[in-house]
Amino acid sequence: MITQIDHIGIAVQDLEAAMELYRGLFGVETFHQETVESQGVAIASFLVGQVRIELTAALNSDSPIASFLAKRGEGIHHVAFRSDAIEGDLRRAQDRGVQLINHEPQPGAHDMLIAFLHPKSTGGVLMEYCTEK
Ligand code: ZN
């Protein structure tokens, strides 16, 4: 079951510049920073209530974030929904005709398992399901 919005991923060109923006706007003092090599991303995140804002930059030109930035520029990249039973939620999505990008949960930031649903079958929204390991 989906239990809450976990985070909103925002694609940025320059992580430092994006952090400076949110420091100035919201007075964010500390960011959680992490590199996820397997996803090709470097992130800086902070909490707004229960929801994390996850600023995400590409680690290299093969990164999915690099192709997103090239096609669409900076902006909202994905919405991540927290699941308490990710395999079942993925199966349910697939049974309803949703195309999965990840059929099996993958390691993501914050020591979570994540899987993406294809935006072509979710009304143009790149959705991520995530769960604590
Ligand atoms: Zn995410």
Output the pLDDT for position 16: 97
> 103-123, pLDDT tens digit by residue?
999 999 999 999 999 999 999
Compute the mean pLDDT over every residue in the chain, rounded to the nearest whole number.
96
In-domain check, residue 72: yes
CATH of the domain at 66: 3.10.180.10
66 Cα: distance to centroid of ligand 1 (angstroms): 15
> 56-85, pLDDT tens digit by residue?
999 999 999 999 999 999 999 999 999 999
Output the pLDDT for position 33: 98
In-domain check, residue 2: no
- Say if residues 31 and 47 touch (Cβ distance below 8 Å): no
54 Cα: distance to centroid of ligand 1 (angstroms): 7
> 13-28, pLDDT tens digit by residue?
999 999 999 999 999 9
In-domain check, residue 30: yes
Percentage above 70 pLDDT, the chain: 100
Give the residue numbers spanning the domain of 52: 7-132
129 Cα: distance to centroid of ligand 1 (angstroms): 8
Output the pLDDT for position 36: 93
| Of 49, 42, 40, 53, residue with least CA distance to 14 | 42
> 92-104, pLDDT tens digit by residue?
999 999 999 999 9
Query: What protein residues have CB closer than 5 angstroms to ion ligand 1?
Result: 9, 80, 128
In-domain check, residue 48: yes
24 Cα: distance to centroid of ligand 1 (angstroms): 23
| Apex 53 CA angle, 110 and 129, nearest 5 | 55
In-domain check, residue 1: no
pTM, 2 dp: 0.94
Q: DSSP labels for the chain?
A: -EEEEEEEEEE-S-HHHHHHHHHHHH-----EEEEEGGGTEEEEEEEETTEEEEEEEESSTTSHHHHHHHHH-SEEEEEEEEESSHHHHHHHHHHTTPPBS-SS-EE-GGGEEEEEE-GGGTTT--EEEEEE-
Output the pLDDT for position 32: 97
126 Cα: distance to centroid of ligand 1 (angstroms): 10
The domain total for the chain is 1
